[in-house]
Structure 1
Amino acid sequence: MNLNLKLVTISLFAWGLGEGMFLLFQPLYLKELGADPVLIGGILGGMGVALALAQIPSGYLADRIGTRPLMWGSWLLASFAAWIMALANDLSMFTVGLLIYGLTGSVLAPMNAYITSARGEWSAEKALSVTSAAFHFGMVLGPLLGGFLGQQFSLKFLYTIAAIFFVVSSTLVLFIKKVEIEPTLEHEPASSIFHNKLFMRILPLSFIALFFMFFAQPLTPVFLEEVHQLGLQEIGYLGAIGSIGNVVLALSIGQLKAKTAYLISFPLVIIFGLLMAKFNHFIWFAAAYFFLGGYRLARTMLLAITRQFVKAKETGIAFGFMETTNGVATILAPPLSGLVYQYNPSLIFWIAIFGVLLSGIINVVLLPKSQTEVIT
């Protein structure tokens, strides 16, 4: 691993530690500030709007001006947003900070393009999996620390500590060096990305998969608190276990061929839904959160799959399209999940289960088979 990749990896660990402190508790804090399940879903959906709107422009700019300036901007914006959330005293101001934080999702396309360009002798799958694992190592500790501090002090206090970690993360990433774009390989298509039939086939397949994989997630902490009376520290433990699952799956299954690992993610997320819907003991919830790592695995492997079918110089905009697809899923899923939750809390998991099963079958049939396919 070269120095640039080390800096990104350590910076992502610090980011994961900061985000992990509050992400799992965010629906609970929104509820504490006065939001009901539908409004919680709407606010989180709004965060998805911010995420989606930023992705394609960010990916386009990454291919034009380079990935490093966009990474710097996103990291600094994350620190700014974290301090707004930390200092907010009402739902309105907190929501402003949350939406600004959603814009920092624009870092995903240029960051992943940077990682694949800076990977050296590593494969794209390995580089993306290892950096993702570092982020989730931080996400292991974040919920544990957040659950403890939230129980001892307040949920609001978590955002102040998280903001400090974001400042540390931003400082580290400012030291990364510019990397050259990889040369175009012979198997890469010569036509515009908009005429790239295989890539355009991947987009809708990824959308239906990520929509249903994400569907039940936003309101799961509320479900655990309201239906099963779990405390903040217990929910924090679950978040940490979920992050351990992310790391273990990224470093094991994530080392397989991208398509194989991606398809394995579907049954893993189905197991999450079944355990949440059918059982009521903490040990089963812990197992569920571990298997939810299949969702993160799917997102990472979709990027590795995408990289096989686009030119190196179009990696940024291609990843931008992929992250926009994920963003649209995160826009639509939370408010719909909120409506379903008000009708029947456990129904959100059954919808997710059958949706993931159906989308998995569709992906098996229609996903491009190998990087040797050529666009005509």
Structure 2
Amino acid sequence: MTRDLKIISASMLLWGIGEGMFLIFQPLYIQELGADPILIGAILGVNGLVMSLSQIPSGYLADKLGRRPLMWFSWISGLVATWVMAFAPSLGAFVVGLILYGVTSSVMAPLNTYIQGARGNWSVGRAVSFVTAAFNVGGIIGPIFGGMVAEHFGLRSVYFAAGALFALSTLIILFVQKQPVEKLTSVEGEVHLLKNRRFLTMLGVIALVLIAMTLPQPLTANFLQNQRGMHFGRIGQLGSLASLGSVLMTLGFGHLPASLALLISQGGLMLFSALIWGGGRFLWYGLGFLFLGGHRLGRAMAVALVQPLVREGEVGLAFGMVETLNALSMMAAPVLAGFLYDWNPVSIYPVSLLVLTLTFLLSLRYFNGNRHGASSDSARAEKEICNDT
């Protein structure tokens, strides 16, 4: 493993602990500040909109200005946003911090592009999966501590603890080395990113899959507390299981062909939806949250799927477009989940199962059809991921 991958992984580990401390409790804290389910969904949807708007500019700037300055900006803005949320005296002030924190997600395109450049002899899929796993190892620890802190000191105090961890994470990321800016060279027969039909078709498939995988997640903490009577400590343990599932699934399946791993990730979310819907005991909920790790696996594989379809100087922009789709899914899914929850809280999960089944069949058909007509670049990238173990 290269020096810079070690630094990024250490920083992401600490960030994962901090974010894990509050992320699963965030809808509950927004509820505590006075929001109803529809307003909670709307607030999370606006946050998703901000996240989506920041991705493409961030990826474009990463190609033009370099990856490291954009990474530093995201880490620092996330640190500031967390302290704004911690000190927020009202729902409105908290939403300001939450939206600023949404800007932090703009790190994903520069970060994934940086990882591609710093991966050494590792494949893109393996490098991205490893850093994702480091983040999720932190996410195993964070919800447990977050639940303990929330039980004893209240939900607000969780943000203060996370802010301290983010400060250390930000200090570590300042030590990554600068990477050269890739120059975009034109080659006969190549087309601009926005005219690349294979790339745009892949984006369409990824968009539908990400929305389907996000739908069952946003209000699950509220469902477990309000409808199943679960306390903060237990919910925090479930959050840790979700992060453990992310580690197991990204490390266990991240070396597979990206198309196969994306199908597996959707299967994981199907099981999550089914177990939250039908489970009546903590054991079944815990098993469901382990399968929630499919969401992180799917996000990592989306990056691996598009990388071989674009030119080197457009990788940052392409990754930015993928992360925009992820952010849009985090905008649309919470709003839909909020309406479903307000109508009938349990309805989120059978609806999610239906949607996930449809996207699974759609993506399976796409990958099977594309297997015969795939380009040599895509085939070569799939082979690289499969053989790099």
With the length of structure 1 as denominator, give the TM-score of the two structures: 0.96
Deviations 1:216-270 (A, max 9, x none): 2110000000111000000000000010000001111111121111111111110
Residue in structure 1 matched with residue 278 of structure 2 by the alignment: 278
Q: Distance in 1 between matches of 2:28 and 2:16?
A: 19
Pair 366,305 (structure 1): closer, same or farther in 2 beyond 3 Å: same
Unaligned runs of 5+ residues in structure 2 are 379-389
Residue in structure 2 matched with residue 340 of structure 1 by the alignment: 340
Q: Is the 8 A contact 1:16 1:136 kept in 2?
A: yes
Residue in structure 1 matched with residue 376 of structure 2 by the alignment: 372
Q: Is the 8 A contact 1:188 1:309 kept in 2?
A: no
Name the SS for the 2:31 alignment partner: helix
Pair 38,182 (structure 1): closer, same or farther in 2 beyond 3 Å: same
Q: Distance in 2 between matches of 1:290 and 1:123?
A: 26
Q: Is the 8 A contact 2:184 2:314 kept in 1?
A: no
Comparing 171-180 with 135-144, greater Cα deviation is found at 171-180
Report the residue type matching 1:335 in the other structure: V
Q: Distance in 1 between matches of 2:187 and 2:6?
A: 30
Q: Distance in 1 between matches of 2:259 and 2:186?
A: 21
Name the SS for the 1:252 alignment partner: helix
* Runs of 4+ deviating beyond 4 Å: 181-189
Is it true that 1:362 corresponds to 2:355 in the alignment?
A: no
Is it true that 1:329 corresponds to 2:329 in the alignment?
A: yes
Shift of 1:185: 12
Report the residue type matching 1:358 in the other structure: L
Shift of 1:190: 2.4
Residue in structure 2 matched with residue 138 of structure 1 by the alignment: 138
Pair 188,92 (structure 1): closer, same or farther in 2 beyond 3 Å: farther
Shift of 1:187: 11
Pair 256,189 (structure 1): closer, same or farther in 2 beyond 3 Å: farther
Residue in structure 1 matched with residue 163 of structure 2 by the alignment: 163
Comparing 365-374 with 265-274, greater Cα deviation is found at 365-374
Name the SS for the 2:217 alignment partner: coil
Name the SS for the 2:359 alignment partner: helix
Shift of 1:296: 1.0
Residue in structure 1 matched with residue 92 of structure 2 by the alignment: 92
Q: Map of 1:30-41 to 2, 5 A cutoff?
A: 30-41=30-41
Q: Is the 8 A contact 1:189 1:309 kept in 2?
A: no
Q: Is the 8 A contact 1:50 1:99 kept in 2?
A: yes
With the length of structure 2 as denominator, give the TM-score of the two structures: 0.93
Q: Is the 8 A contact 1:129 1:254 kept in 2?
A: yes
Q: Map of 1:1-376 to 2, 5 A cutoff?
A: 1-180=1-180, 190-367=190-367, 368-369=370-371, 370=374, 372=376
Kindly tell me the number of residue pairs found equivalent between the two proteins: 374
Pair 213,187 (structure 1): closer, same or farther in 2 beyond 3 Å: farther
Q: Distance in 2 between matches of 1:203 and 1:150?
A: 39
- CA RMSD in angstroms, aligned pairs only: 1.8
Pair 274,281 (structure 1): closer, same or farther in 2 beyond 3 Å: same
Q: Distance in 1 between matches of 2:375 and 2:289?
A: 33
Shift of 1:182: 7.3
Comparing 184-193 with 249-258, greater Cα deviation is found at 184-193
Shift of 1:204: 1.3
Q: Is the 8 A contact 1:181 1:312 kept in 2?
A: no
Q: Distance in 1 between matches of 2:264 and 2:161?
A: 36
